[in-house]
A = this chain, B = another copy of it.
Amino acid sequence: MTRSFEPDATDRAILRLIQRDAALSLAEIAKEVGLTPTPCWKRIRKMEQDGVITERVVILDPEKVGLGVSVFVAIETGDHSAAWIETFASTVAKMPEIVECWRLGGDVDYLLRVVVSDMTAFDGFYRRLTAQVPSLRKVTSRFAMERVKSTTALPI
């Protein structure tokens, strides 16, 4: 099986740039990578079509919009059935405070990052979560004191 996307050095250079600043104009991107706007645009469009680039978004300052509290919630479940997993996944999808949810290997089954305005809001979230999801064996919440680093740019 051959991959439909085989990025060359130029593709990766483009990705490195627009992962950090998608507001760059084609002219600027092209200049950086040593091309003219047209082939550069064609490469970007291809990477969008191939699903390499999945979205274009703006990133907000959580503090500035009053959502400065991140909480990591580690979950161990007592029920590993398909039905439980489905309930859990659909609950996670529906709760916008949950910005990340990972299934892990090892002692912890799931790790969530939850974004809220304050502790009171987190308590409300916690009650809703535990009310909706059955068979939670252990739920451990850890509050983030400081965001040391947070980037959407993958190390290409």
Contacts and interface: CB of A to CB of B under 8 A. Distances in A.
A115 interface: yes
Interface of A: 5, 7, 15, 18-23, 50-62, 64-65, 67, 70, 72, 89, 92-93, 96-108, 110-111, 115, 142-156
Contacts of A110: 148
A87 to B, nearest CB: 13
A148 B57 contact: no
B149 A57 contact: no
A53 B57 contact: no
Contacts of A5: 64
Contacts of A93: 149
A135 to B, nearest CB: 17
16 contacts: A22-B22, A22-B56, A22-B57, A23-B56, A53-B59, A54-B59, A54-B61, A72-B111, A93-B149, A97-B155, A99-B151, A99-B155, A104-B142, A105-B142, A110-B148, A111-B142
